[in-house]
Amino acid sequence: MSGVALVSGGSRGIGRAVATRLARDGFDVSFCYRADEDAAREVEKDLAELGVQVLAERVDVADAEAVRAWIARTERELGPVTAAVTSAGITRDQPLVRMPDEDWKAVLETNLDGVYHVCRSVVFGMMKRKAGTVIAISSIAGVHGSAGQTNYSASKAGTIGFCKALAKEVGRYGVRVNVVAPGFIDTDMVAVLDERTRERALAEVPLRRFGTPGDVADLVGFLASEQAGYITGSVLHVDGGLIR
Ligand code: NDP
pLDDT digits (tens, 9 = 90+) for 114-173: 999 999 999 999 999 999 999 999 999 999 999 999 999 999 999 999 999 999 999 999
pLDDT tens profile 25-56: 999 999 999 999 999 999 999 999 999 999 99
Give CA–CA dist 118/193, Å, rounded: 29
90 CA from centroid of ligand 1 (Å)? 6
CA of 9 to the centre of ligand 1 (A): 6
What DSSP element (H or E) covers 237? strand 235-238
The beta strands (E) that lie in 87-217 are given as: 132-137, 175-182
Helix then strand then coil, % of the chain, to nearest 5? 50, 20, 30
CB 21 less than 6 A from any atom of ligand 1:
no
Domain at 4-234, CATH homologous superfamily: NAD(P)-binding Rossmann-like Domain (3.40.50.720)
116 has catalytic annotation: no
Ligand 1 atom index nearest CA of 37? 47
Catalytic-labelled residue, pool 33, 152, 173, 230: 152
Hey, where are the domains in the chain? 4-234
Q: What is the DSSP letter of 111?
A: I
Cβ proximity of 156 and 113 under 8 Å: no
ipTM of the complex, rounded to two decimals: 0.99
Please work out whether the CB of residue 31 comes within 6 Å of at least one atom of ligand 1.
no
- How far apart are alpha carbons 35 and 196 in whole angstroms? 30
